Amino acid sequence: MTSTPISRWPAFHHVIFDCDATLATVEGIDELAGDHPDRQAVAEMTDAAMRGDVPLDEVYEKRLEMLRPDRRAVSEIHRRYRRSATPGAIETVRVLKALGHHISVVSGGLAAPVREFAAFLGIEPHDVHAVETRHDDLSGQWWRPGQSSGAFAGIAQSPLATTSGKIDVIDSILSGSDKRSILIGDGVSDLVAAPRVDLFVGFGGVSHRDVVERNAHVYLRSPSLLPIVALAAGTVGRELAAADPSIGTVGFAAAIHAFEVGDLTFNDPPSARRFAEAFGANPPTTEQYR
């Protein structure tokens, strides 16, 4: 007599995160606006681009031209990112690194603050891909040491300032690798890149986008990123974590809870069944099994 095989959830070695409204609960360029009179207009352009109502390249540099942030203002965004780290972000990165995953950030945010924030989370600077800004070092009282204002002078050419730009960057990250990949993000620019990875998780814990929820392989509504641990590390990751108390299994418990309360959903019913069976989770309704 043979036993019934137990379903396994695969591990995804390459874990790729968006930054704004994913690893952090804020949009970096919106934060630049502060009390600027165009703050609302900038936020509306950001939201429209993330929903896919307008191409990102139509509004990307336009927002920055309205705000014209100097080098110091751009750098300061990382402090707001740190204060606004998404719940579970630090622990999720820690556990996945401990389990041997390769973690990258692919963001349409501004490179300097995104890199500093990623380092705070434990992600290597060379694994961060974002948009570089250009600044004029001959501005302000530039002849005095430390007195250049670094006035805004535009952005460096980057695919990440366009709606489809993450495709090229992700292709580069995964080039030559035969290991599975997972992408986590909230916006249409993430959704557009979904075909380049094995699993796309739409994250709605900060900003909900209908089009992302409808089309993502998996959608996470939880305000915490912890369920990503189980989705990325799989059954083998849980076994390794259970055997090593320094890693811990809180992320796996968070994923099971999110699934059971309906905060973690699958647009593919067989995948929902596989996840439930692999982790011993009970579905909230029969809807995920249709």
Count of structural domains within the chain = 1
Is 3 contained in some domain? Answer: no
pLDDT at 4: 42
- Output the tens digit of pLDDT for each of the chain's 290 residues: 334 446 899 999 999 999 999 999 999 988 888 878 888 999 999 889 988 899 998 999 899 989 888 888 898 999 999 999 999 999 999 999 999 999 999 999 999 999 999 999 999 999 999 999 988 765 544 434 444 458 888 899 999 999 999 999 999 999 999 999 999 999 999 999 999 999 999 999 999 999 999 999 999 999 999 999 999 999 999 999 999 999 999 999 999 999 999 999 999 999 999 999 999 999 876 555 44
User: How far is C-alpha 180 from the geometric centre of its chain's CA atoms?
Assistant: 17
Which residue range(s) make up the domain with 130? 14-283
- 239 within some domain: yes
In a domain, 93, yes or no: yes
Q: What pLDDT is attached to residue 145?
A: 45
Instruction: State the pLDDT at residue 6.
Output: 65
Q: What is the pLDDT of residue 154?
A: 86
Report if residue 290 sits inside a domain: no
Question: Is there a domain that residue 259 lies in?
Answer: yes
Looking at residue 2, what is its pLDDT? 39
235 falls within a domain: yes
- Longest alpha-carbon distance in the chain: 85
In a domain, 6, yes or no: no
Q: What is the CATH number of the domain that holds 214?
A: 3.40.50.1000
Q: Give the per-residue pLDDT at 1.
A: 34
Tell me if 5 is assigned to some domain: no
SS (H, E, C) the chain: CCCCCCCCCCCCCEEEECCECCCECCCHHHHHHCCCCCHHHHHHHHHHHHHCCCCHHHHHHHHHHHHCCCHHHHHHHHHHHHHCECCCHHHHHHHHHHCCCEEEEEEEEEHHHHHHHHHHHCCCHHHEEEECEEEECCCECCCCCCCECCEEEEECCCHHHCCCHHHHHHHHHHCCCCCCEEEEECCHHHHHHHHHCCEEEEECCCCCCHHHHHHCCEEECCCCCCCHHHHHHHHHHHHHHHHCCCCCCHHHHHHHHHHHCCCEEECCHHHHHHHHHHHCCCCCCCHHHC
